[in-house]
Structure 1
Amino acid sequence: MIIYITKAEFIEDYTVKLSFNDGMVMLVNLKNSIFNDHRKIFEPLKDVQYFKKFTLDTWTLVWPNGVDFAPEYLYELAVKQNEKAHNIIYH
């Protein structure tokens, strides 16, 4: 199954609530992904006000400067973060 995002909602800080096409709804925090990537294109996303400007492309999150994350990466990261925090993963 090809995974893609059907809905995205800013929660706080660098956390986004993502709904996936398989019915899963999970929180994902992208702070480490953004701050640990030292490429210049990620610099604007380090400002949370800019981070909040993401939109939903046909399959994933995208920012005005063209940055996006593969939906599979976001899915795996969300699962890992939610399992570690013992959060409920909705289906």
Structure 2
Amino acid sequence: MIKITRAHYVQHRVLRLYFSDNSYGDYDLQPLIDRQTELVMPLNDETYFKQFFLELGALCWHNGLELSPGNIHRKLAEQQQLHSQIQVA
């Protein structure tokens, strides 16, 4: 099972996510925010957007929004946006 191990804010609505399979990618949440559902509407506020956290490998916000690491990983792979981390011995 894929998990997100680290997450960093990159720029407006984009997070760099590192996964348990030693891959990473920049995930643009704007398409999700554009849906304007009740759970994603708070992400329009940049300050709130930056308050993301990881819980059990999932990307979360305090309003209960939780994004599946497996789905994010799959989407990044489909978009050819996943990169391998170089392992240093």
Compare the two structures and name the one with the higher helix fraction. Answer: 1
Give TM-score scaled by structure 1 length: 0.82
SS across alignment from 2:42: helix
Contact 1:35 1:46 in 2 (8 A): no
Secondary structure, aligned partner of 1:6? strand
Shift of 1:43: 1.1
More strand by share: 2
Q: How many residues align?
A: 85
Tell me whether 1:3 sits opposite 2:34 in the alignment.
no
The CA RMSD measured in Å over matched residues stands at: 1.6
Cross-structure match for 1:63: 61
For structure 1, which runs of at least 5 residues remain unmatched after alignment? none
Superposed structure 1 runs of 4+ greater than 3 Å apart: none
1:74 aligns with 2:72: yes
Give 5+ residue unaligned stretches, structure 2: none
